[in-house]
C-alpha cells in the first residue's frame, strides 16, 4: 500500500505502554539462528527470543505441527480432552521425575500454579515460600514477590504476603528463616536473569536436606534452564537433586506460549476440580508445538550435541577471558546458557557492549547487571559460535 508508514518503531511507540526499551529493529523473518529486520539487515540471534526458540526460528517440523493443528482444532477450553495436550503431558512426565502435570501459558503462570499447589498441599497456616536473592520468577504480583530483586518490587508494594529471600549460597541463613509457616523453598538451578549464576551441587543438596528435615517442598523453576537448554532435558538431571515441583515454559513450544508445572501424584492430589485452572492452558496449537519440540530434542544425539557445543562455546569464552581484563571474573553456565562475567569496571560497559554487538548484527544481552548472556538456539553451528566469538573479540578490543 503506497503511503503506509512502515516505521514500525515510531508507530509502536505511539500506542504501546512503555514497558520495554527496545533495540531499533523491527523483525520480519526468522530462520534457524538468523533473523532479518524490516530493512533487510540480518542478525545472528544468540538470544533465541530469551531462551525460547531453542530449535531455531520457524523450525519446519514445529511449523508444520502448528499449521496442521490450526487446521484441525485451535481451542476448546479445558472442559474437554484433546490429543495434543494428552501427548504433551505424557511426554513431559515420561521424561522427568514427575507423574502429574498442569499446563499454563507462560512461566509466571506455571510458577503461580506451583505456589498455589505448595500452599494447598501444606494445609492452613503454612504459606511461606523462601526463594533466593538475585532470582527471577516472573512479573505477576506473586511471582514478582518471589523474585529476589528489590528493584522489581519498587512502586508495587505491598507485596503479596508469604515470600522471603535468602542470601545467595548461604544455607545457615536460609535455615534460620524457616518458620512454622514455611511450606516451600523455591530456586532456579542456575539463575538466568540474575547473570547466569549456577548454584553449586552441594548447596542444592543442602536445600533438599532442609526440605526433608522441615517437611517443605522443593520447587525448581526450570523455566529458563529446562527443555534442553543445559544439554539435558532438565538441568536437575545433571545436578543429582530431584525437586518435588518443577516449572517449565520458555522453550517448551519453541515460540508458542505454553508453560507447565510438574510434580508427583501424592502432591498433585491437593488440586481437585475447581482449585485451579486456565482458559487457554494446554491450548491444542501450543501443545502441538510442544509435542513436536520435545520429540525433536529427544532424538538420538540432539542433547549430547548441545552439551558438546556448550563446551565449545565455553572454551571460546575462556579464550576471551584470558585476553581481556574486563572478563577477569570468568565465563560460566551449563550447556548453551553461558555468561561472560564482567568486572566492576566492565559492568559499566555492559550495555554498550551489547549495543556494539547489535551494530555488528549479533544479538546478545546483559543479564543481572553482571554478565553478557548467550542463549543461542540449540541448533547453532560451530561456525556460528565462531562468528559470535569473533564479534565479541572485536567489541571487547574496542571497549578496552
Ligand X SMILES: *Cc1c(COP(=O)(O)O)cnc(C)c1O
CB-CB contact of 260 with 58 (8 Å) = no
Helix (H, G, I), strand (E, B) or coil at 118: helix
Which listed range, 152-160, 218-226, 292-300, 386-394, lies at the site for ligand X (CB under 6 A)?
A: 218-226
Q: Rule CB under 6 A: is residue 112 a binding residue for ligand X?
A: no
Residue 135: partners with Cβ closer than 8 Å, 6 or more residues away? 146, 147, 148, 149, 165, 186, 187, 188, 191, 194, 221
User: CB under 6 A: which stretch of 7-15, 70-78, 133-141, 352-360 binds ligand X?
Assistant: 133-141
Least distance to ligand X, CB of residue 143, Å: 7
Which residue of the chain is nearest ligand X when measured via CB? 107
366 sits near ligand X (criterion: CB under 6 A): no
Binding ligand X (rule: CB under 6 A), the pick from 96, 224, 230, 314 is: 224
Q: Is 249 in the site for ligand X (CB under 6 A)?
A: yes
Residues 6+ apart with CB under 8 A from 146: 111, 115, 129, 131, 135, 137, 138, 163, 186
- Enumerate the H helices of 104-234 as residue ranges: 107-122, 141-146, 171-177, 201-214
Among 56, 89, 192, 228, binds ligand X (CB under 6 A): 192
Contact map string, positions 256 to 295, toward ligand X, x by CB under 6 A: ----------------------------------------
Give the count of residues interacting with ligand X (CB under 6 A): 15
- Our CB check for ligand X shows the closer of 221 and 384 to be 221
Report the alpha-carbon distance of residue 110 to residue 223 in Å, rounded.
9
Window 315-354: contact mask with ligand X (x via CB under 6 A): ----------------------------------------
User: What's the sign of the alpha-carbon dihedral 313, 318, 324, 327?
Assistant: positive
Contact 105/281 with Cβ under 8 angstroms? yes
Burial of residue 252 (CB within 10 Å: 0-12, 13-18, 19+) is: buried
Q: Should residue 54 be labelled a site residue for ligand X when binding is judged by CB under 6 A? A: no
List contacts with ligand X (CB under 6 A): 106-108, 111, 136-138, 188, 192-193, 221, 223-224, 249-250
Amino acid at each position: 500500500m503506497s503511503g503506509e508508514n512502515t516505521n514500525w518503531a515510531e508507530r509502536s511507540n505511539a500506542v504501546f505502554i512503555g514497558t520495554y526499551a527496545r533495540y531499533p529493529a523491527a523483525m520480519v523473518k526468522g530462520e534457524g539462528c538468523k533473523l532479518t529486520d524490516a530493512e533487510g539487515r540480518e542478525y545472528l540471534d544468540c538470544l533465541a527470543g530469551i531462551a525460547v526458540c531453542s530449535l531455531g526460528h520457524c523450525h519446519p517440523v514445529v511449523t508444520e505441527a502448528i499449521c496442521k493443528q490450526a487446521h484441525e482444532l485451535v481451542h476448546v477450553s479445558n472442559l474437554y480432552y484433546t490429543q495434543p495436550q494428552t501427548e504433551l503431558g505424557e511426554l513431559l512426565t515420561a521424561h522427568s521425575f514427575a507423574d502429574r502435570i498442569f499446563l499454563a501459558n507462560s512461566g509466571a503462570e506455571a510458577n503461580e500454579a506451583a505456589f498455589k499447589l505448595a500452599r494447598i498441599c501444606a494445609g492452613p497456616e503454612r504459606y511461606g515460600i523462601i526463594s533466593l536473592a538475585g532470582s527471577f520468577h516472573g512479573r505477576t504480583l506473586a511471582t514478582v514477590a518471589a523474585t529476589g530483586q528489590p528493584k522489581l518490587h519498587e512502586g508495587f508494594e505491598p507485596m503479596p504476603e508469604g515470600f522471603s529471600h535468602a542470601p545467595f549460597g548461604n544455607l545457615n541463613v536460609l535455615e534460620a528463616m524457616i518458620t512454622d509457616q514455611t511450606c516451600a523453598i523455591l530456586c532456579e538451578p542456575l539463575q538466568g536473569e540474575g547473570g547466569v549464576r549456577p548454584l553449586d551441587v552441594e548447596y542444592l543438596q543442602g536445600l533438599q536436606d532442609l526440605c526433608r528435615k522441615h517437611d517443605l517442598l522443593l520447587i525448581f523453576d526450570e523455566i529458563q534452564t529446562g527443555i534442553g537448554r543445559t544439554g539435558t532435558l532438565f538441568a536437575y538431571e545433571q545436578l543429582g537433586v530431584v525437586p518435588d515441583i518443577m516449572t517449565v515454559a520458555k522453550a517448551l513450544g519453541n515460540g508458542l506460549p505454553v508453560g507447565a508445572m510438574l510434580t508427583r501424584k501424592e502432591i498433585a492430589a491437593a488440586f481437585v476440580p475447581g482449585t485451579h485452572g486456565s482458559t487457554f492452558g494446554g491450548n491444542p496449537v501450543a501443545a502441538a508445538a510442544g509435542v513436536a519440540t520435545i520429540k525433536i530434542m529427544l532424538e538420538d544425539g540432539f542433547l549430547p550435541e548441545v552439551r558438546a557445543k556448550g563446551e565449545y562455546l565455553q572454551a571460546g569464552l575462556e579464550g576471551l577471558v584470558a585476553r581481556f581484563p574486563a572478563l577477569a571474573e570468568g565465563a560460566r553456565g551449563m550447556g548453551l546458557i553461558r555468561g561472560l562475567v564482567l568486572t566492576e569496571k566492565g559492568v559499566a560497559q555492559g550495555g554498550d557492549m551489547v549495543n556494539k554487538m547489535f551494530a555488528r548484527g549479533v544479538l546478545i544481552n546483559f543479564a543481572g547487571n553482571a554478565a553478557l548472556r548467550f542463549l543461542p538456539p540449540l541448533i547453532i553451528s560451530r561456525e556460528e559460535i565462531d562468528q559470535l566469538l569473533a564479534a565479541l573479540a572485536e567489541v571487547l578490543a574496542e571497549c578496552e
